[in-house]
Amino acid sequence: MLPHVVVPSILAAFLIPEWHLTGAEAGLLAGAGAAGYMLTVPFLAALTDRIDARKILIAGSALNALGTLLFGVFASGLWSGVLFNAIVGVGFAGAYMPGLKALTDRLEPGDSSRAVTLYTSSFSLGVGLSFLVSQLVAESWGWRSAFLVTAVGPVLMLLVCLLLPAVEPKPAQGRLLDFAPVFRNKTAMGFVLGYGAHCFELYGSRTWLVAFWTFVVLRHGEASIFAPIVVSVVFSLLAMPASIVGNELALKFGRHRAITTVMLSSAVVALLIGLFADNSPRLLLVLLLVYALTVPADSGALTSGMTMSAGPRYRGATMAMHSTVGFSLSALGAWGIGIALDLAGGPLNPSAWTAAFSVLALGILLGPVALFWSRAKVPQV
């Protein structure tokens, strides 16, 4: 996870001014990683139904490190940055969901819910470290060094893979990219579509968090305001306990009810941040801390719900669909927020941030709609 948010971390302070990027171009650059992920994860995750996911995890980690190094050494503008960030995304497609499949293949069935939630919530711990390391390194030694240093993370993952015991997956039926059984599983698809709404909000907020807090600091100029690096790291680290607690609430009160409540709450908080974008930074900090809890609180419950409702022989394919939908909307979230900022006057305009957080709120509200659809009974004719 160490290279995962290097681009969003350095976007406002380094890449936008150096490469003269508009909001839409910056969103395109940040979303290229999610786009590369989305284009390749259907094949790579589905392949884990046929071969040991550890093998794909090794290849994905190596490519993740390579793309990060290429960005740090050769990126010189928007399109070269898009290309190298997309390569990073392809590598991550071979690491994240195949890593989850490698985990679940080595667990007893009763262990899956909490184990999957711990895995997905550790994603946020990795994001927090990525924010912290990349910003500290970029400020000390330049933004290219941030990529060179964080590329060490996927290399270390290669060593971890060697410690995993080998397993052979159960033989899969049908063609490799046959997702018809996944589409027919309405329960699983409800969680998949809900995850898409979650990813739209999550990646949109993470991509533009540093830029938003930079706007707040510049707008008010108070020395007592926390620096963007502190806010971004805390925002990410709070996600891990929030995701774990969210899954526990789902186990206690019902998965659909808990997820829907979290999503509605998150939409309200996003709207409040947008409405008060030009108000007291202390109020905004409180709202952001609450938002840091609501945004990820549904993640573990959605992913564990997907894995438990997936057919055993099509779990890899279901994970592939889960990630494809999720990261497609991640790329759209990063880009869409950039477009909203441009249309509403740019990232130095308070009304632009009102528009941006309104878009995030609308995106997450699609989640409860998907969950309601997945539970609706088809009338008998």
Residue 175 within a domain = no
Residue 381 has a pLDDT of 36
pLDDT band (50, 70, 90) for residue 378: very low
Q: How far is CA 104 from CA 116, 162, 191, 207, 267, in A?
A: 8, 17, 18, 30, 32
Q: CA nearest 155: which of 8, 7, 323, 1? A: 1
- The upper half-sphere exposure of residue 86, i.e. CA atoms within 13 Å in the direction of its Cβ, equals 15
Q: Which tops the pLDDT comparison, 174 or 277?
A: 277
Please tell me the distance from the alpha carbon of residue 326 to that of residue 338, in angstroms, as a whole number: 19
pLDDT band (50, 70, 90) for residue 380: very low
Residue 71 within a domain = yes
Token duo for residue 117: 């939630």
DSSP state of 110: G
Helix (H) or strand (E) holding 274: helix 255-275
Residue 101 within a domain = yes
How many domains does one find in the chain? 1
**Which CATH number do you get for residue 259?**
1.20.1250.20
Residue 381 within a domain = no
At residue 165, does pLDDT exceed 60?
yes
Residue 11 within a domain = yes
Identity at 144, one-letter amino acid code: R
Q: Is 380 helix (H, G, I), strand (E, B) or coil?
A: coil
Structural domain containing residue 329: 6-164+181-375
Residue 170 within a domain = no
Residue 1 within a domain = no
pLDDT in tens, 205-245: 988 998 999 999 888 876 557 888 889 888 888 888 898 89
| Average pLDDT score, the chain | 89
pLDDT in tens, 245-301: 988 899 889 999 999 999 999 999 999 999 999 998 999 999 999 999 999 999 889
Q: How far is CA 15 from CA 21, 34, 72, 127, 251, in A?
A: 8, 18, 12, 19, 43
Token duo for residue 211: 């830029």
Helix (H) or strand (E) holding 202: helix 186-220
Residue 173 has a pLDDT of 57
pLDDT in tens, 56-74: 999 999 999 999 999 999 9
pLDDT in tens, 12-39: 889 999 999 999 999 999 999 988 988 8
DSSP state of 11: I
Q: Which tops the pLDDT comparison, 341 or 176?
A: 341
Residue 76 within a domain = yes
Residue 49 has a pLDDT of 80
Q: CA nearest 64: which of 144, 153, 160, 162? A: 153
